[in-house]
């Protein structure tokens, strides 16, 4: 499984011969202007919630690639009315896709489209594929549900928000990694705009002090899981 960071909370995942895009917000992210999002390959688009900074580029990418959307029922229905195909899920449910097993899990946040349409309850994803298990938390506060997930899954990598203000910050994300039982964390949802700028050295030191590794990928870079 290969994960590419496209900035903010946007990811690309290649696994089992499929290409997944998570929360595409690239075209209006000034830090990601070198990413050629208009030629991004996608078989599936995973959406954690409906906020503008997570769904901005959904329609042009899906229309060009024919990618199937995966999200909560409200988000899938919203885009179905715009002619896009999707697979609806809800919290605690899982489905065997051709790229692996995917479970939609809780996140503590809000969710609404820019036009005011209700975006359902926000969530995250647990992906099991090719013998590896990945947790994408989405925008969330620290939740005791994370401790439960840590007893259910043996995670190989956690993708956690660390920017604070709208989500948990890096200090709280350290606790999340302890509850989830995984020492390897890819940080996201940071630095995109003023409210969520962080000190990289302090963030990585906070994790290192607990024997954990915080990975801060340059936008456009990848890592293997």
pLDDT in tens, 108-144: 999 999 999 999 999 999 999 999 999 999 999 999 9
**pLDDT reported for residue 41:** 97
**pLDDT reported for residue 133:** 98
Distance between alpha carbon 75 and the CA centroid of its chain, in Å? 15
User: Using CB atoms within 10 A of its CB, is residue 217 exposed (0-12), middle (13-18) or buried (19+)?
Assistant: middle
Asked if 49 and 122 touch (Cβ cutoff 8 Å), the reply is yes
**pLDDT reported for residue 106:** 97
Distance CA 18, CA 120 (A): 27
**pLDDT reported for residue 31:** 98
> Domains of the chain, with CATH numbers?
2-220 (3.60.15.10)
- Render pLDDT for 32-87 as a digit per residue (tens, 0 to 9): 999 999 999 999 999 999 999 999 999 999 999 999 999 999 999 999 999 999 99
Distance CA 158, CA 173 (A): 10
Mean pLDDT (the chain) is: 98
**pLDDT reported for residue 174:** 98
Sheet-wide strand order for 44-46: 86-89, 68-72, 44-46, 18-22, 11-15, 2-5, 222-224
**pLDDT reported for residue 110:** 98
- Render pLDDT for 91-102 as a digit per residue (tens, 0 to 9): 999 999 999 999
Whether the CA torsion 74, 90, 11, 14 is positive or negative: it is negative
Radius of gyration of the chain (CA): 16
Distance CA 85, CA 165 (A): 33
* Predicted TM-score of the model (pTM): 0.98
- Render pLDDT for 156-185 as a digit per residue (tens, 0 to 9): 999 999 999 999 999 999 999 999 999 999
């Amino acid at each position: 499984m290969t994960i590419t960071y496209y900035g903010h909370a946007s990811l690309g995942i290649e696994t089992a011969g499929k290409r997944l895009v998570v929360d595409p917000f690239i075209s209006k992210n000034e830090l990601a202007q070198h990413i050629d999002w208009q030629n991004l390959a996608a078989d599936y688009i995973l959406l954690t919630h409906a906020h503008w900074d997570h769904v901005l580029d959904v329609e042009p990418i899906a229309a060009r690639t024919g990618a199937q959307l995966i999200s909560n029922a409200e988000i899938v229905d919203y885009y179905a009315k715009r002619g896009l195909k999707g697979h609806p899920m809800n919290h605690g449910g899982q489905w065997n896709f051709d790229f692996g097993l995917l479970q939609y899990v809780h996140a503590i946040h809000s969710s609404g489209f820019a036009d005011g349409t209700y975006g359902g309850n926000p969530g995250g994803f647990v992906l099991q594929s090719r013998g590896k298990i990945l947790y994408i938390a989405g925008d969330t506060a620290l939740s005791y549900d994370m401790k439960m997930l840590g007893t259910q899954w043996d995670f190989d990598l956690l993708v956690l928000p660390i920017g604070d203000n709208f989500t948990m910050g890096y200090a709280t994300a350290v606790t999340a990694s302890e509850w989830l039982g995984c020492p390897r964390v890819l940080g996201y949802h940071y630095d995109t705009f003023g409210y969520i700028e962080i000190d990289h050295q302090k963030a990585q030191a906070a994790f290192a002090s607990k024997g954990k590794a915080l990975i801060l990928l340059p936008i456009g870079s990848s890592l293997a899981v």
